[in-house]
C-alpha cells in the first residue's frame, strides 16, 4: 500500500503521551534472557498492551492445567511422538479433557485480521482460533512438555516446525488438526517466492526471539486498527530490531505511514506546493518510511496475498 500525493482521504493523527508508554511496554517484552523464554508469558504481556484487563494468572493457570492433563494422558515412558499425539488429542478431539469443547478453526476470521481474535485469551475462551493463536498454543504446550517445536512463517500464516531427536524436522499444520504438511503444500497454496525462501523469510524455524516478535506484532495491528498510526510505526521499529526479516511487519509499518500520509496531508493540501515548508520534512519522512518498508519487503521476496 504505497502512497502517492493527492489520491487519499484524511484524519489528523498526532503523537501523544501514550506513544512512549506503548513503546516502553513493547521494549519491556524483549528485556529478558532469550534462552529462557516462556512464550505464554510473552503472549500475555503483549496482549495486556492491547487489553489491559486480561488476567495473566488465570491464563497461566489454564495453560498449566492443560499441561497437567496431557501428562496424565501420556502412556508410560512416552517418547516425543507420544507427547505430540497427546497434545493433538487434548486440543482437537472433544472429550472430558477439554470439557467436550474441542478447539477449532475460526472460519469467520481465519487470518486473525481482527486483532482481538489474535489473543490467546480469546482462543482459550471461545475455542475458535486462527493461524496465529492455533500454532502458538500448540508450541506453548509442546515446549512445556520438552518438545523442540518452533513457529515458521508463510505469507499471512504461521505453522509449527517440530524437530525430533534424530534431527529431522516436520511441518505441523495446526489449523488442520496439527497434521503433517509437506513444504510443497505451502509453496503450492501461498505466494512464496524462491527469494523469500533463500533469504530465510519463510519456511524456517524461528528463534525464540523471532517468535516473540511475531507475538508482539499484535500490538502494531491493534494500533493500526485504532488509527494510532504514529504509535504503530514506533512499535514496529522496536519489533523489527528483534526480527529484521519480519516482512509482515515491514508491510504493516509501510501501511501505517500510508495512513498518516492519507490523514495528515492529502485532506489538507491539494498539491505538494500547498504543503507549508515547515511540514515538508515530516511529509518526506513518512514518504520514506512508506516506500522503503515495501521496497525492503519486496527485496526479501515478499509478495502481496490476493484473497
Give the pLDDT of residue 11.
28
- Least confident range from 70-84, 103-117, 216-230: namely 103-117
Looking at residue 293, the DSSP 8-state letter turns out to be: H
Is 247's pLDDT higher than 70? Answer: yes
Distance of alpha carbon 121 from alpha carbon 44, whole angstroms: 8
The model's pLDDT over 261-281, given as tens digits with 9 standing for 90+, comes to 999 998 899 999 999 999 999
Rounded mean pLDDT, 51-72: 97
Burial class (CB in 10 A: 0-12, 13-18, 19+), 66: buried
Cβ–Cβ < 8 Å for 91, 73: no
Altogether, the residues listed in the chain come to a count of 307
pLDDT tier at 8 (50, 70, 90 boundaries)? very low
What is the mean pLDDT of the segment spanning 64-93?
98
Confidence (pLDDT) at 7: 31
Would the pLDDT of 142 be above 60? yes
pLDDT-derived band of residue 111, with 50, 70 and 90 as boundaries?
confident
Long-range pairs for 90-96: beta carbons < 8 A, 24 or more residues apart: 90/66, 90/141, 91/137, 91/138, 91/141, 91/178, 92/177, 92/178
What is the percent of the chain with per-residue pLDDT over 90, rounded to a whole number?
88
Measured from the Cβ of residue 82, the count of other Cβ atoms closer than 10 Å reads 14
pLDDT score of 217: 97
pLDDT at 5: 41
Extended strands (E) in 130-264: 149-154, 157-163, 169-173, 179-181
Taking only the tens place, the pLDDT of each residue in 50-61 is 999 999 999 999
Q: What is the CA angle 79-81-84, rounded to 5?
A: 115
Q: Cell 516482512, residue?
A: 247
**Residue 13: per-residue pLDDT:** 32
pLDDT tens-digit readout, 291-305? 999 999 999 999 998
As a whole-number percent, the residues of the chain with pLDDT over 70 amount to 93
End-to-end alpha-carbon separation of the chain, Å? 15
Alpha-carbon gap, residue 116 to 222, rounded angstroms: 8
Task: Count Cα neighbours of 126 within 13 Å in the Cβ-side half-sphere.
Answer: 12
The continuous run of DSSP H or E covering 254 comes out as helix 247-261
pLDDT confidence tier of residue 238, bands split at 50, 70 and 90: very high
The number of beta carbons lying within 10 Å of the beta carbon of residue 33 is: 7
> In what helix (H) or strand (E) does residue 258 lie, and over which residues does it extend?
helix 247-261
Question: What is Dmax (Cα atoms) for the chain?
Answer: 76
How much is the average pLDDT of 74-87?
97
**Confidence class for position 28, pLDDT limits 50, 70, 90:** very high
At 3 the pLDDT is 52
Bridge-based pairing of strands 104-105 and 128-129 is parallel
User: Grid coordinates in use for 21?
Assistant: 508508554
Q: Which helix (H) or strand (E) holds 247?
A: helix 247-261
Q: What is the pTM of this model?
A: 0.92
Confidence at 110, pLDDT banded by 50, 70, 90: confident
Amino acid at each position: 500500500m504505497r502512497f502517492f500525493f493527492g489520491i487519499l482521504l484524511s484524519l489528523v493523527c498526532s503523537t501523544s503521551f501514550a506513544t512512549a508508554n506503548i513503546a516502553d511496554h513493547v521494549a519491556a517484552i524483549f528485556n529478558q534472557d532469550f534462552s529462557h523464554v516462556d512464550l505464554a508469558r510473552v503472549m500475555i504481556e503483549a496482549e495486556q498492551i492491547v487489553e489491559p484487563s486480561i488476567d495473566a494468572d488465570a491464563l497461566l493457570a489454564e495453560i498449566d492445567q492443560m499441561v497437567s492433563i496431557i501428562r496424565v494422558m501420556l502412556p508410560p515412558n512416552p517418547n516425543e511422538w507420544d507427547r505430540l499425539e497427546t497434545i493433538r488429542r487434548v486440543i482437537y478431539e472433544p472429550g472430558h479433557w477439554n470439557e467436550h469443547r474441542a478447539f477449532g478453526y475460526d472460519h469467520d476470521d481465519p487470518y486473525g485480521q481482527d486483532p482481538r481474535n489474535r489473543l490467546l485469551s480469546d482462543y482459550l475462551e471461545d475455542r475458535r482460533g486462527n493461524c496465529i493463536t492455533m500454532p502458538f498454543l500448540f508450541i506453548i504446550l509442546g515446549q512445556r512438555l520438552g518438545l523442540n517445536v518452533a513457529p515458521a512463517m508463510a505469507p499471512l500464516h504461521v505453522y509449527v516446525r517440530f524437530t525430533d531427536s534424530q534431527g529431522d524436522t516436520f511441518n505441523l499444520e495446526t489449523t488442520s488438526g496439527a497434521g503433517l504438511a509437506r513444504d510443497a503444500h505451502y509453496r503450492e497454496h501461498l505466494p512464496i517466492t524462491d527469494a523469500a525462501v533463500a533469504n530465510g523469510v519463510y519456511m524456517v524455524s524461528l528463534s525464540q526471539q523471532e517468535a516473540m516478535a511475531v507475538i508482539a506484532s499484535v500490538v502494531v495491528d491493534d494500533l493500526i486498527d485504532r488509527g494510532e498510526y504514529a504509535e504503530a510505526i514506533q512499535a514496529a521499529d522496536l519489533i523489527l530490531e528483534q526480527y529484521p526479516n519480519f516482512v509482515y511487519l515491514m508491510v504493516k509499518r509501510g501501511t501505517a505511514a500510508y495512513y498518516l500520509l492519507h490523514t495528515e496531508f492529502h485532506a489538507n493540501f491539494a498539491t505538494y506546493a500547498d504543503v507549508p515548508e515547515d511540514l515538508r520534512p515530516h511529509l518526506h519522512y513518512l514518504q520514506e518510511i512508506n516506500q522503503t518498508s515495501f521496497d525492503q519487503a519486496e527485496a526479501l521476496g515478499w509478495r502481496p496475498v490476493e484473497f
